[in-house]
Amino acid sequence: MRHLLYFSRLILISTVVVVTYFNSESSSANDTIKIGVLHSLSGTMAISETTLKDTILMLVDDLNRDGGLLGKAVEAVVVDPASNWPLFAEKARELLTVHDVDVIFGNWTSVSRKSVLPVIEELNGLLFYPVQYEGEESSKNVFYTGAAPNQQAIPATDYYLEELGVEKFALLGTDYVYPRTTNKILEQ
């Protein structure tokens, strides 16, 4: 657990340093570095995403207790997209335009990420997406921190076929973006 917290803190610090350096126009004008937190706090996804929001707030508190970052306080701006995929895009726009955040940490599902992506790119924002994703998408505005099929599903399938000698198996998954796309990749 300590390693996970250390790693999370390191990612947060590194991100904010890089964003602040390259976006010095907005951050140098004040004494606060703003980060957006775009995780569902209500609705069906709240059970998964609330913990991520809490972790980010804990890391921000730790940073500020240690004097902030680059001599500036770090402020988390939390919004609730309420597990509503179109609302994610609206909340991302709000974070970038109304709250003027330097970076956004958020989304848990592929659909919410795909909803936010056009807004992030249009406004030249920066998003850290924290979970595995199906690949087949790349953006200079998104850090995809989770594993893609070529890092997880493909090596596992290759192991079953080559090392264990499995000749036949079924690809299962829910009717959703990640399993559909990953299964399509594995079938090729």
Q: What is the DSSP letter of 149?
A: G
Residue 27: closest CA among 103, 130, 88, 115: 103
CATH number assigned to the domain comprising residue 26 = 3.40.50.2300
Do both 115 and 183 map to the same domain?
no
Question: What's the number of domains the chain is made of?
Answer: 2
Do both 38 and 106 map to the same domain?
yes
Do both 104 and 162 map to the same domain?
no
Select the highest-mean-pLDDT range: 86-95, 107-116, 167-176. 86-95
Do both 97 and 10 map to the same domain?
yes
**One-letter identity of residue 81:** P
Q: Is the pTM of this model over 0.95?
A: no
Instruction: Read off φ and ψ for residue 128, nearest 5 degrees.
Output: -105, 115
Q: DSSP characters for 67-119?
A: T-BTTBEEEEEEE--TT-HHHHHHHHHIIIIIS--SEEEE--SHHHHHHHHHH
Do both 106 and 168 map to the same domain?
no
Residue 91: closest CA among 116, 66, 71, 72: 116
For CA atoms 42, 48, 49, 55, the dihedral sign is positive
Do both 70 and 160 map to the same domain?
no
Do both 103 and 51 map to the same domain?
yes
Confidence of residue 7 (pLDDT cuts 50, 70, 90): low
Do both 51 and 131 map to the same domain?
yes
Confidence of residue 181 (pLDDT cuts 50, 70, 90): confident
Do both 25 and 42 map to the same domain?
yes
Each residue's pLDDT tens digit, 89-109: 999 999 999 999 999 999 999
| Residue numbers of the domain that contains 93 | 2-146
Do both 133 and 175 map to the same domain?
no
